Amino acid sequence: MSLNLDHVTLTYPDGDGRLTALDDVGLDVPAGSITAVVGPSGSGKSSLLAVAATLITPDSGRVVVDGVDTAGLSRTELTTLRRSRIGIVFQQPNLLPSLTAVEQLQVMAHLDGRSPRAARPRALELLDAVGLRDRAGSRPHQLSGGQRQRVNIARALMNDPVVLLVDEPTSALDHERGAAVIDLITELTHRRATATVLVTHDRTHLTAVDQVAEVHDGRLRVPARA
Ligand code: ADP
Ligand code: MG
């Protein structure tokens, strides 16, 4: 139950050449722990998450999810792995406007080939875990930004992921609500034993994380703990 990146290099086409977005990156995230990834805009943080999420295949290196080397998997197998093992929280919640909070979560069960109706109790339990049990019937426009981000986090946990990847979840929130969202992610990481990567540009939230990795120009550095 963990996430490992080993010698991962990723380039994008850039004019006549290639731009190196990730340069020989190695990262180990054990189950039940949270690694923060910090770095300036354009340093490669979202690329790192996209590779860890198996949404982008790196030029070289290995991405191992829950002991499975993803390089050996077909496109279909990758989709299944993503739906069943990886929870992704993007910067913007991207909730479906016409669905209630509980339905946003039930859709995930449906995508994973399970009955949305049977998944309803679990969806309600997760909404409870993020403090939104009483908003289960609310649509996105009836929720605040912080509440929408909580639905987004609950949705990412719907299929019991091994790996939880979170990209700047607090960027649209004020400081207090941002801190509450980080606390929630930390608590859920420990309770559900996910291997969590949290990208953030705000270092003030990082007191509770297990390790902080810094990215500069695609190179990742994990300073040793004092
Ligand atoms: P961050 O999330 O830290 O802001 P990104 O991972 O989004 O950084 O981007 C890293 C670098 O890769 C940047 O120079 C960015 O312009 C470039 N980049 C990101 N996505 C693409 C893409 N799809 N095609 C080409 N270049 C990209
Ligand atoms: Mg980014």
Residues 6+ apart with CB under 8 A from 58: 8, 9, 10, 22, 51
The atom number, within ligand 1, closest to the CA of 39 reads 3
The amino acid at residue 180 is A
* Residue nearest atom 20 of ligand 1, based on CA coordinates: 47
Q: pLDDT digits over 75-125, tens only?
A: 999 999 999 999 999 888 789 999 999 999 999 999 888 999 999 999 999
28 or 175: which leads in pLDDT: 28
Probe target for ligand 1 pocket from 8, 18, 19, with the most ligand atoms within 8 Å of CB: 19
Instruction: Convert the pLDDT of each residue in 125-151 to its tens digit.
Output: 999 989 999 999 999 999 998 899 999
Closest CA to 202 of 223, 221, 182, 225: 182
Hey, which of 11, 20, 46 would you mutate to test ligand 1's pocket, going by the most ligand atoms within 8 Å of its Cβ?
Answer: 46
Query: Closest Cα to atom 7, ligand 1: which residue?
Result: 46
Q: Ligand 1, closest atom to CA 49?
A: 6
Instruction: Please identify, in words, the CATH class of the domain defined by 2-221.
Output: alpha beta
Diameter over CA atoms, the chain: 54
Res 47 pLDDT > 70: yes
Q: How far, in Å, is the centroid of ligand 1 from the Cα of 42?
A: 6
* Nearest CA residue ID for atom 27, ligand 1: 12
Backbone angles phi, psi at 225, to 5 degrees: -75, 140
**For residue 31, which of 218, 210, 224, 226 has the smallest C-alpha distance?**
210
Q: Alpha-carbon distance 125 to 131, whole Å?
A: 10
What are the pocket residues of ligand 1 if the criterion is a CB atom closer than 6 Å to any ligand atom? 12, 19, 21, 39, 41-47
- 225 pLDDT tier (thresholds 50, 70, 90): low
Task: Quote the mean pLDDT of the chain.
Answer: 92
Res 224 pLDDT > 70: no
